[in-house]
């Protein structure tokens, strides 16, 4: 499975007319800022678009964070969550 970050226009192009369901997830970043993640599973790819959700108290702190670092953290947490089965992609395993 490959995780692919898309910009809003790219994500809209993938999901428009595809008939694929769109998932919505929230990831809490290390800075305690919430990131809304919109996903679409298509073949061997999990496409996602992220949006940072900031309260009034966190706006200044969020503005100081490098956007590249935010995207990297979201990607890392998505990969961890995907391995844990959060996106319905966990391999079937027998549990004793």
**All domains of the chain in start order, with CATH:** 2-83 (3.30.720)
Bigger pLDDT: 93 or 81? 81
Rounded Cα distance between 24 and 26, Å, is: 7
Give pLDDT, residue 86.
66
Q: Dmax over Cα atoms in the chain, in whole Å?
A: 49
Would you say 79 and 40 are in contact if contact means Cβ atoms under 8 Å apart? no
Mean pLDDT of 32-59: 85
Residues 6+ away with beta carbon under 8 Å from 54: 33, 34, 62
Mean pLDDT of 57-73: 85
Give residue 11's pLDDT band: very low, low, confident or very high (50, 70, 90): very high
Rounded Cα distance between 63 and 60, Å, is: 5
């Amino acid at each position: 499975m490959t995780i692919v970050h898309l910009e809003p226009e790219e994500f809209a192009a993938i999901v428009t007319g595809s008939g694929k369901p769109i998932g919505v997830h929230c990831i809490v970043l290390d800075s305690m800022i919430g990131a809304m993640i919109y996903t679409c599973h298509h073949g061997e790819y999990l496409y996602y678009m992220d949006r940072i959700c900031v309260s009034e108290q966190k706006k200044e702190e969020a503005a100081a964070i490098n956007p590249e670092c935010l995207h990297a953290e979201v990607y890392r947490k998505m990969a961890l969550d995907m391995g844990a089965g959060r996106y319905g992609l966990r391999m079937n395993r027998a549990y004793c």
